[in-house]
Amino acid sequence: MNSYEKFHLKEVINASGKMTILGVSKVSEAVLAAQRFGGEHFFEMSELSVQTGAFLANLLKVEDAQIVSSASAGIAQSVAALIGKGSLYHAYHPYTEKIEQREIVLPKGHNVDYGTPVEAMVAQGGGQVVEAGYANMCSPEHVEMMISEKTAAILYIKSHHTVQKSMLTVAEAAKVAQRHKVPLIVDAAAEEDIFKYTEAGADTAAPKPSKGQVPV
């Protein structure tokens, strides 16, 4: 008896690509082997997190990396990290009103629901969404005018769920971020080439951990 029969599931033919609601992607043999090894052995989880992050950072040619359960988790953790800035107090009191620099500037056309609302994940990380521009248009100037002393980061959603026309590019968002010395978070779920986003100036990039991409 297979899982379709055991759990009374209908079989699905995926013609949509990497979709969260369909299980994201298939698993390669290398990833299956890594999952099996992980399931049959024990690790110090803090060390595993650090070492696998360092391994991926080397592959991606970035400062550091953190394995997360999804791009949504990547948004929440990136927001929390940029608000807390390594503060132990923030780690214990993530939603304290003592930390006022919590605003996350987001193009209005990027504030979408891809199975969960973007602003819900920002809020989970302790951030407060500040929308820039309009539903059908957002320029670098629109983002720039919403930056204040309370801005913790700019968030850019690279997804087919967002408005595509008349939106600033990742590179343009990066230039605004660099000009105002604020970090840029890029949600690059289901994107194949993460290098182009870090090269474009993203300070943190959250690709969806597609099950067949990088065996760790």
User: Dihedral through CA 112, CA 19, CA 69, CA 215, nearest 10?
Assistant: -140
Query: In whole angstroms, what is the distance from residue 56 CA to residue 188 CA?
Result: 16
pLDDT digits (tens, 9 = 90+) for 29-66: 998 999 999 999 999 999 999 999 999 899 888 888 88
Hey, which CATH number is domain 69-206, 3.30.1330.10, 2.60.40.1260, 3.40.640.10, 3.40.50.620? 3.40.640.10
What residue spans define the domains of the chain?
A: 29-67, 69-206
Beta bridge partners of 106: 131
pLDDT digits (tens, 9 = 90+) for 89-117: 998 999 999 999 999 999 999 999 887 89
